[in-house]
Amino acid sequence: MKRLLFFYFLLISIAICSQTISGTVISEESNPISKVLIVNMTSNQKVYSDNVGNFSIEGKIGDELRFAKERYKGEKIIIINNLLKVVLQQLPQEIEEVKIINKRLAESQEEKLRKDIGLPKGPEKPREKPVGAKEVLLPLLGASLNVDNLYKWLSGNSRRLKNRYKYEDLQEGLAWIQNNVDLEYFAEAGILPDKFNDFLMFSLKDEKVLMYMKAKNVGGITVALDNNIATYLERITKK
């Protein structure tokens, strides 16, 4: 009898400790969301939702699941049963008209504040457009030659401007990632804080990382960086 009870409790323990968690990922409008990255933060197992938003992942009660998807706000769920329904909130998509309106509103508020306190308007420093081969070669075909453009192109000024702007944009993008991604998520996956910058530089060879960094898409950058974790960890382990 004692042996039977032992095996009974053993089976119960196994069932509690390890089971398949199934679920569905949907939008706020109850539409299924496919290709959502789901990560068990305890076991680091990763799966993606299928075409109708369904997924299955190994886990146990109390494990934390995290969900990431381009254009959606990330979500964290603590497993309380083996059947989940997860709702992801879609992030608002900024359109160019909204950016222009917001910029003009900010400029008008800044101008009003400047006048109220009696400060002179500061000098504007817009980015100088680098001269390309097109601006230099086309005038040679008939239009008047712009000597200043020709000098900037031949002297390397345009190349230096492009490199400087590229560097500034890269630094801005890396700072945005640091301030917006969930660093704990990557620490749990093996990318410790002191290695995160090195991991970012390693991941920049991935076009999707560059694309989502430029678009400032949190869900997209999380998924894109996640796809580089295994390769990065393998590289540093071999060193």
Predicted confidence (pLDDT) per residue in 115-141, tens digit: 554 545 555 556 666 555 555 555 555
Query: Of 63, 88, 113, at which residue does a domain stop?
Result: 88
What is the Cα–Cα distance from 140 to 145, expressed in whole angstroms? 6
Do 152 and 225 lie in one domain? The reply is yes
- Cβ neighbors of 163 (< 8 A, separation 6 or more) are none
Residue 11: exposure state from Cβ atoms within 10 A (0-12, 13-18, ≥19): exposed
Query: Of 64, 88, 112, at which residue does a domain stop?
Result: 88
| Domain span at 233 | 148-239
User: Out of 19-33, 78-92, 121-135, 151-165, which region has the weakest mean confidence (pLDDT)?
Assistant: 121-135
Q: pTM surpassing 0.75?
A: no
What is the Cα–Cα distance from 74 to 90, expressed in whole angstroms? 9
Do 67 and 154 lie in one domain? The reply is no
Residue 76 placed within a domain: yes
User: Total structural domains in the chain?
Assistant: 2
Percent of the chain with pLDDT over 70: 64
Strands 54-59 and 46-48: unpaired
pLDDT digits (tens, 9 = 90+) for 60-114: 989 999 898 888 888 888 998 888 999 999 877 644 444 444 545 555 555 555 5
Query: Of 66, 88, 110, at which residue does a domain stop?
Result: 88
Residue 229 placed within a domain: yes
Do 78 and 159 lie in one domain? The reply is no
What is the Cα–Cα distance from 227 to 233, expressed in whole angstroms? 11
